[in-house]
Structure 1
């Protein structure tokens, strides 16, 4: 029995991981809406006597697949530009269909540009995939240049339908995404209060920070709203109040290291629940805690203020007008990502080059319907790491082969238009429903769906030849994508970590100097250049580190020893963000500031050069003890990582 329990698995871990089923809630509403967006246009076209036009308009339905849980104001803009991008892709693919070499070059440019934009803005979703798909499908259609404009207009009509369906929730719950974000923040805050003074505090702190960062993205630039501005102001106040509660909880945990009264956690949890139920909680049970020590009173005050924030209505509008969370301008985001050390830029460049090579190779070998090769290549390269690319290649190949057989069986039966429309709806529904569980299972439905949309109007006489050709195309594209990722991106991430550590520490030094000195413009620190630069560097560092974990080969020991440093920088960055939102910040003397800047520079040099050096002692900073504590934590993590054996 013992031998059987410890017998090694015959399946390689990478392959086994590719077919793991994730225990994630199924997105029923999203799956139903996606099926309608892709299938309804073909039904409308069938009723109007132009089924081929309906299938083409259904391509615009891919717009819906870029909708997630972002606020509706952001979703409206994102989906509008996505719809335009898919329309332009169809127009360009049709226009350049007679010129396969130029078409391959433009396809690579579209893939690179879409990957860069989605990566820089950190948008969720399939990134370049459906822009590439739309361009590739259009490039394989007959009479391309003559039909370029009407095809793109049909795609825009399908995209407009998808936009309307994706925005329908705004009519009934216009601030649903923001409310959900605040509920997550306060649920994690309640857990943080309960974990104070215990071993679980570090994990609870991490979860709280993640939810706060997500909420900040939801509220960025949101000082006005289309509907119910009072609700927006209330949510904004709760978002800022969450920072105060977090800061005071962190201070308590550092100084007292004792558990907090459970009533505090219950009160914060009740505030989160009130956003769903509408019942405003009372804080009567907290008043008896006022007689406790001074530190507890400092934490108790922002928790008690939650009741008044939840009860405020119209009188809060004037006080909070124009005080939304500052957002980083798109120009600054793109300039920060357009850098030789930016992983977003390098991944975009790699994506475009490999995609172009795949399209040129398919043309050079004169493959039938050669656009399926770059499509498979693009799908495989959506993996964010080399391991993820392996997973995608395995999942794509096996799932696609089975999916092609399913599509071939359907096309062999020569189904009527309504059957194809219903099949597209069902395949899209199951693909979106199951993709959160496993990509390989979803591909079983994605592949026949794409084949039906592309080939339903074609007259396929030799189904066996059709199936064999598509399988060869998919395997060829998957292999090209995998080889390209291995050749161009094996260790590009891990080699940049030390440099980005140094850059992050220096940008945090500049922001600290601005926040803790009395100077003109210090009150404008939130959303200023220094804060944007710090966020850009920190974002690049965490992205590069996450990517390095998936590289092959990689040094597990080296990455593990650097993890505490990355964590310390992340925690310190969030502390500075919290200070930027605080109106009454401490002011350091010139002597303290000079000593602090020296500490930052020496620490940055040590991290960048990855060598041990004598780091100066952090000044006392009596007025800013949390800054001192975070810097000491960073120094300790760095010293420990450099002294750890490799």
Structure 2
């Protein structure tokens, strides 16, 4: 890590980052934590309420997602957390088996959460509750009671997590739709109106002398397109996840008409085909804001729904995402392998050191790596976890000195949960300061009679062991991975593009498979830029030559999508059939076999030339 980067990340330790409002999530999490604790206190068994709080982490999954998707994600999280506790209970008394199960769960949960874009808190809590359940049964708790209490906490958290939808059932979808409308208007306004003034080729270095993805290019057409594409993807995902409310679907379809027209105009401009494919426009009738319920000048007021072709560019199917993530090489599999190695080493080291809480070391190793990202980001996450834990242990010692009991303990635990959720997106190190005493309070309830000093010492040692093992694995493995991962994702873009071109060549654009192919291509194009940025950050020298290749593929992918939406270009079946040849050559070479970026880009350019022969 360079000195400027080190200084920049040092400043982040105490700086609060911008974040969407967290009060609704924080309040729900605090209430969900307080409910089982209050019931336990009223029943005279507060420790049972603390065990039930293991299921309360259900409320953190999909906390701001649309209703139907949130209900499914939280239900699956509840089942996963309860199942993890059951595994921990079954392996109690068998330390080596417990470590093996912890490692398997850490890898499997990380794979599923990252492949399906579940988002924070990811796989961490599945490993954590497995360890706590194992510890509770080891210290004499009945396995069935630990599992039942966890399930009860999960059910109550699910109910509380869904409660806010009674007041604002479609808030998430409305916000996503508004963001998409704004981004699409900006993109459409930046598309050249004159056929003689074609849009710049994003892969042409003459038009982009500094192809640095970190530069400030908000006004650039490519950046506007990326913003609009991402916003449209998120909006369709939110609206689809929310059950496709008719009012929002109608607004989003109008916005997508503008997006599709702009993309097809770009394709038409590059191909020399009339770039206003939507017919003539009555400006006086159409010159209105998208959000007012009318159409903008870019879209013909008489355009029919067939030209939109029902392409809701939202989330691809779970099967597709899991299959693609499981193809080696991929970023997801690299992350999973690192999680497996780090958690295995951490568990073995903690076991050799005779630590009483081996699962902590495994959890912290998984926590550093389970969401992936650049080496720098994951290293900073580990440093924040270590520093936050050190300060959190001091706070825990102070909390023990105060010795809150009964209702005071209920208030303290629920209050800590509230603070954690307010801080976790603003400053991870500060959030860990509160997470540490919260986790230790719940953990000690699961293992009554443990020495406080040994618990604190174990927590410190296990944190250092887990983070050290994670960082060792992170920096010792995958030195060539950034280049291979970028090329592997480029292959996914090639495959997705080729499938759409097969549909174009066959003139079969209305089938359900064709719609899925366009949705998958759109998703891979959005992911391509993210993967390229991370790869460049990890290995600029090795990845640099492949960056222009990635941009060329992205330009080709959007050209092919634009052709699908252009009423004239999409009928050039023979041209698209001929253009598949160079793509098949690219796919003939294994990704793991080194191939110069120039050779791959040459094949991509040949495809473009064959498509451009439509002129």
TM-score of Structure 1 vs Structure 2, range by shorter chain? 0.7 to 0.9
Quote the residue 1:183 is aligned against.
178
For 1:457 and 1:102, locate their aligned partners in 2 and report how far apart those are by CA, in whole Å.
Answer: 20
Displacement of 1:131 in angstroms is 0.3
Quote the residue 2:354 is aligned against.
366
Quote the residue 2:406 is aligned against.
417
C-alpha change, 1:512 and 1:422, in structure 2 (3 Å) is same
8 Å contact 2:382–2:467 — kept in the other structure?
A: yes
Unaligned segments of structure 2, at least 5 residues? 193-198, 200-218, 276-281
Quote the residue 2:463 is aligned against.
474
Displacement of 1:557 in angstroms is 3.8
| Aligned: 1:598 with 2:587 | no
C-alpha change, 1:112 and 1:200, in structure 2 (3 Å) is same
> What SS class does the counterpart of residue 357 from structure 2 fall into?
coil
Can you list the C-alpha shifts for 1:120-161, whole angstroms capped at 9, x where unaligned? 112211211000110011111245786222211211111112
Quote the residue 2:213 is aligned against.
none
For 1:450 and 1:249, locate their aligned partners in 2 and report how far apart those are by CA, in whole Å.
Answer: 56
8 Å contact 1:137–1:454 — kept in the other structure?
A: yes
For 2:364 and 2:83, locate their aligned partners in 1 and report how far apart those are by CA, in whole Å.
Answer: 21
Tell me the TM-score normalised to structure 1 length. 0.77
| Aligned: 1:436 with 2:425 | yes
| Aligned: 1:243 with 2:259 | yes
C-alpha change, 1:135 and 1:343, in structure 2 (3 Å) is same
| Aligned: 1:514 with 2:530 | no
For 1:10 and 1:354, locate their aligned partners in 2 and report how far apart those are by CA, in whole Å.
Answer: 25
Quote the residue 1:77 is aligned against.
72
Displacement of 1:84 in angstroms is 0.5
Tell me the TM-score normalised to structure 2 length. 0.81
C-alpha change, 1:567 and 1:598, in structure 2 (3 Å) is same
> 370, 377, 394: which one pairs with 2:383?
394
Quick check: 111-120 or 134-143, which moved more?
134-143
- What is the CA RMSD across the aligned residues, in angstroms? 3.8
C-alpha change, 1:386 and 1:618, in structure 2 (3 Å) is closer
8 Å contact 1:526–1:577 — kept in the other structure?
A: no
Quote the residue 2:510 is aligned against.
523
Displacement of 1:466 in angstroms is 4.0
8 Å contact 2:104–2:340 — kept in the other structure?
A: yes
Can you list the C-alpha shifts for 1:495-541, whole angstroms capped at 9, x where unaligned? 332344345324413321322443xx442165567547646765775
For 1:476 and 1:355, locate their aligned partners in 2 and report how far apart those are by CA, in whole Å.
Answer: 10
For 1:129 and 1:611, locate their aligned partners in 2 and report how far apart those are by CA, in whole Å.
Answer: 37
C-alpha change, 1:624 and 1:208, in structure 2 (3 Å) is farther
C-alpha change, 1:183 and 1:9, in structure 2 (3 Å) is closer
Quote the residue 2:323 is aligned against.
335
For 1:486 and 1:43, locate their aligned partners in 2 and report how far apart those are by CA, in whole Å.
Answer: 46
Can you list the C-alpha shifts for 1:261-317, whole angstroms capped at 9, x where unaligned? xx99xx899433xxxxxxx4667xx7xxxxxxxxxx6x2425x88xx99xxxxxxxx
C-alpha change, 1:182 and 1:441, in structure 2 (3 Å) is same
Quote the residue 1:216 is aligned against.
236
Quick check: 449-458 or 324-333, which moved more?
324-333
Displacement of 1:482 in angstroms is 1.3
8 Å contact 2:53–2:153 — kept in the other structure?
A: yes
Higher relative contact order (CA 8 A, sep 6+): 2
For 2:505 and 2:173, locate their aligned partners in 1 and report how far apart those are by CA, in whole Å.
Answer: 31
C-alpha change, 1:565 and 1:447, in structure 2 (3 Å) is same
8 Å contact 1:186–1:242 — kept in the other structure?
A: no
For 2:565 and 2:144, locate their aligned partners in 1 and report how far apart those are by CA, in whole Å.
Answer: 50
For 1:233 and 1:504, locate their aligned partners in 2 and report how far apart those are by CA, in whole Å.
Answer: 28
Displacement of 1:391 in angstroms is 0.5
C-alpha change, 1:557 and 1:126, in structure 2 (3 Å) is same
Can you list the C-alpha shifts for 1:229-280, whole angstroms capped at 9, x where unaligned? 53354245335434334335646986899xxxxx99xx899433xxxxxxx4
Quick check: 66-75 or 204-213, which moved more?
66-75
Can you list the C-alpha shifts for 1:564-615, whole angstroms capped at 9, x where unaligned? 432343354345456556788622253x345422344567789972154566
8 Å contact 1:525–1:580 — kept in the other structure?
A: no
C-alpha change, 1:580 and 1:357, in structure 2 (3 Å) is farther
Displacement of 1:116 in angstroms is 0.9
Can you list the C-alpha shifts for 1:4-48, whole angstroms capped at 9, x where unaligned? xxxx87965554456554233441111111122223311221112
